[in-house]
């Protein structure tokens, strides 16, 4: 492996089970040509975060980014992703479909061949900034005068508070208009809304709910199981659905039991939600009316801990997660990191949206963790290209880094948000109103916390 050429013998064992077909990412067949596969769009996203404000995204025009609302939502149409599960090495096809209001998010195991005709593998295509052809931006001249002045003041502000490191040119590139948001209306015309799937009579459905969560599952991923039907590694997908406002969804899985790892983050899933768009979740009645979306508002502090690791909920007026990780002893390149995110902050902009601020963060392991997981029979697909591996004071492949100072903490937030989504009542929000602070969270500790929260809210 080129990316691991400088690794030690111990780290080399991490990628020994890697497969060339490990991370095939496929999406619903395209009627019109689009650029890159979901996991490859990050290069474009880093150079061009959408500049619409929270208020602008609430205008009558098609929203630039999908987000939760006060009423229940579902997808406008379905999407399909095929790929390899990180820990089992099994190939699976996942199709996420619209669902009726009040059904919530749920899994259905379908026979092989059910959705194979719905997808095709996209070949990654790298693009240069000049190819984006975004309005108001020229790769040589920069943005127009008005936006240039506005961006410059923003650039000074974020430099002062340490939120951005780099030149003004880098900042301009990062905030160029996002072309894929401009394609939403055109693509909507090509792909009409799909009616929610009714499903087969008597089919077994497993709700993406705390009642399906296994507390004693492997500590490297979340496991849902009910009636002999199990799903591994759904936390990235569920985090994207929860944070992008997909309250109701039918999730069909065929083949393996593990959700594809895609690129090791939640970005591919968030991109698919963006591409398909949202609509008010319809009801089974003839005349549809928007159905309210329930939000938990616990009134008591809830906490779980194991050693120095803990997760605590504090009642508050808005939802927020704050995550801390500390690998300074075994991997100084990670060190101590904290990251805090809220979809309800004052001054919220597109750059704060889950898709940009959280979803792109890759899975992070120390070399010791990865080696131990491989010895225990996990990481069957291999960690290279989908995981950041840290060995002491360096990364095995630093070219994968997407957030210089806090990628590990941001990815820990993805995992936590995915597990918190299991608190949702059918059609409701899983993320409770209040502040959740987690330090050194593990999947086992998160499972214990989610179960404790469910008891507190009963």
Contacts of residue 31, defined as CB under 8 A and 6 or more positions apart, other chains included, come to 190, 191
Cα 383 → chain centroid: 18
Told to judge if 175 belongs to the known catalytic residues of this protein, a careful annotator would answer: no
C-alpha to C-alpha distance for 131 and 170, rounded to whole angstroms:
17
Nearest to 80 by CA among 41, 42, 37, 43: 37
CB atoms inside a 10 Å sphere around CB 433: 16
Q: Which of 54, 109, 209, 443 is catalytic?
A: 443
C-alpha to C-alpha distance for 456 and 443, rounded to whole angstroms:
20
C-alpha to C-alpha distance for 174 and 190, rounded to whole angstroms:
29
Distances (CA, A) of 273 to 28, 39, 51, 233, 244: 12, 13, 19, 18, 7
CB atoms inside a 10 Å sphere around CB 60: 5
Max CA-CA distance within the chain? 64
167-171 own/partner pairs: CB under 8 Å, 24+ apart: 169/142
- The residues carrying an active-site annotation are 443
């Amino acid at each position: 492996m080129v990316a691991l050429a400088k690794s030690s013998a111990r780290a080399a064992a991490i990628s020994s089970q890697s497969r060339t077909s490990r991370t095939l990412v496929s999406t619903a067949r395209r009627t019109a040509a689009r650029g890159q596969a979901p996991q490859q769009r990050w290069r474009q996203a880093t150079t061009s975060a959408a500049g619409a404000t929270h208020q602008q995204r609430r205008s009558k025009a098609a929203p630039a980014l999908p987000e939760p609302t006060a009423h229940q939502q579902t997808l406008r149409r379905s999407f399909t992703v095929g790929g390899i599960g990180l820990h089992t090495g099994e190939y699976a096809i996942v199709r996420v479909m619209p669902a009726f209001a009040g059904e919530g998010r749920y899994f259905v195991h379908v026979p092989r061949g059910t959705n194979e005709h719905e997808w095709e593998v996209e070949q990654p295509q790298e693009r240069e900034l000049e190819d984006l052809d975004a309005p108001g931006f020229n790769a040589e001249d920069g943005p127009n005068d008005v936006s240039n002045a506005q961006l410059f003041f923003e650039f000074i502000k974020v430099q002062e508070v340490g939120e951005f490191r780099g030149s003004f040119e880098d900042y301009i590139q990062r905030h160029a208009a996002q072309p894929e948001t401009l394609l939403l209306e055109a693509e909507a015309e090509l792909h009409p809304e799909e009616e929610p799937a009714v499903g087969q009579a008597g089919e077994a459905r497993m709700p993406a709910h705390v009642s399906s969560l296994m507390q004693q599952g492997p500590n490297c991923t979340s496991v849902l199981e009910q009636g002999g039907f199990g799903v591994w590694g759904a936390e990235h997908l569920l985090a994207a659905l929860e944070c992008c406002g997909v309250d109701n969804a039918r999730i069909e899985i065929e083949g393996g039991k593990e959700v594809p790892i895609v690129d090791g983050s939640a970005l591919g899933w968030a991109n698919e939600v963006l591409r398909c768009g949202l609509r008010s979740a319809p009801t089974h009645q003839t005349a549809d009316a928007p159905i309210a979306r329930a939000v938990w508002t616990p009134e008591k502090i809830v906490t779980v801990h194991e050693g120095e690791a803990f997760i605590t909920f504090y009642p508050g007026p808005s939802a927020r997660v704050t995550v801390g990780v500390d690998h300074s002893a075994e991997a100084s390149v990670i060190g101590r990191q904290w990251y805090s995110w809220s979809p309800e902050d004052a001054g919220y902009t597109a750059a704060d949206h889950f898709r940009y601020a959280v979803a792109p963060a890759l899975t992070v392991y120390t070399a010791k963790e990865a080696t131990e997981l491989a010895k225990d029979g996990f990481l069957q697909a291999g960690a290279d290209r989908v995981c950041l591996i840290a060995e002491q004071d360096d990364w095995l492949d630093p070219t994968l880094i997407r957030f210089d100072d806090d990628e590990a903490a941001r990815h820990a937030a993805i995992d936590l948000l995915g597990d918190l989504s299991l608190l949702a009542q059918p059609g409701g929000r899983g993320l409770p109103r209040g502040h959740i602070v987690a330090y050194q969270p593990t999947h086992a500790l998160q499972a214990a916390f989610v179960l404790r929260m469910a008891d507190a809210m009963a």
